[in-house]
Structure 1
């Protein structure tokens, strides 16, 4: 099912997913992932820089949103698993996001608390950045990060993004925009 590291895979003729990395594999989210996604998005530590955690229905809406993105955009957030065990560790991918009237493609990531601080977020984000640049021909990539979320800012920097500006979401939340031209 998986090819060599560096290859990209076409799913149902329209959707590309990142190639596996030495430690991680990616796949589209399904409704069968609800338990894992509800646990991830319901974890107060994982969601500490969001306005609040998400309940089970919101986790299902998250899966539905990504499935729509797969169909409409050819990408979204993918489920991330360990290649060695198949164990779920989070999600990572690309989503269109509007900030202050401009829509850009954001690279986003959420990892289980016990999978953080091991380089997985940087590894996953790098694979998604490479897909955006090399296969999807996306010209600009951003990350929208809470000002206090220093670990996520470091991941963005290690992935090649730099602090561009401070901004506000439509809900009025202060965020830092990291960006790069691809």
Structure 2
């Protein structure tokens, strides 16, 4: 399993237990998590890391830690996860960026790299993003990487907008 190649500003790598402080800060930040049911606690952040480590083993992909190429600073996470929406499993691109680094194009840059990795390295034919209806910045990221609003759906956390694109070569 390999992570997407580095972009001009970002690198991707697998999450490890050593990332707990950064992931707990990211997932526990009310600003970052405002469109989720609630921020996650430290134990939940460790669970998040373990979930992704399981995905790396089982699927060959997951969410990866994002860092700045120039400094190594932790930016957030971005990657690919299988998601079941109303009985259909698709591969989702997901992204979270630290609050003080938002608005600089990092999510779009990372999501585009994950889209290309899904298509070119993993052979994924269809990519989705599951986005809270009020999360306009995330919807813009999805649109920037070529996903379009396909439908509204209901998941266990409530209503969502599903963005999708065919990735065929």
Give the 5 Å matches for 1:5-16.
15-16=1-2
List gaps (5 residues or longer) in structure 2. Answer: none
Match of 2:138 in 1: 152
Deviation at 1:100, TM superposition (A): 0.4
Q: For 1:27 and 1:135, how far apart are their aligned partners in 2?
A: 16
Q: Deviations over 1:130-168 (max 9, x none)?
A: 000011000000000000000000000001100000001
TM-score normalized with structure 1 length: 0.91
Contact 1:27–1:79 (CA under 8 A) maintained in structure 2: yes
Q: 1:174 aligns with which of 156, 159, 165?
A: 159
Q: In structure 1, what is the Cα distance between the partners aligned to 2:143 and 2:27? A: 24
User: For 1:46-84, what per-residue CA distance to the aligned partner results, in whole angstroms no more than 9, with x for missing partners?
Assistant: 000000000000000000000000000000000000000
In the other structure, the counterpart of 1:53 is 39
Conserved? CA contact 1:100–1:170, under 8 Å: no
For residues 23 and 6 of structure 2, what CA distance do their matches in structure 1 show? 20
Matched-pair contact (CA < 8 Å) for 1:26–1:80: yes
Whole-angstrom CA distance in 1 between matches of 2:121 and 2:129 = 19
2:10 matched residue in structure 1: 24
Residue number in structure 2 paired with 1:132: 118
Residue 30 of structure 2 is aligned to residue 67 of structure 1: no
Structure 1 outlier segments of 4+, above 6 Å: none
- The gaps in structure 1 that reach 5 residues or longer are 1-14
What is the alpha-carbon distance in structure 2 between the residues aligned to residue 39 and residue 19 of structure 1? 25
Q: What TM-score results when the alignment is normalised by the length of structure 2?
A: 0.98
Q: How does 1:74-85 map to 2 (within 5 A)?
A: 74-85=60-71
Give the SS at the match of 1:16. coil
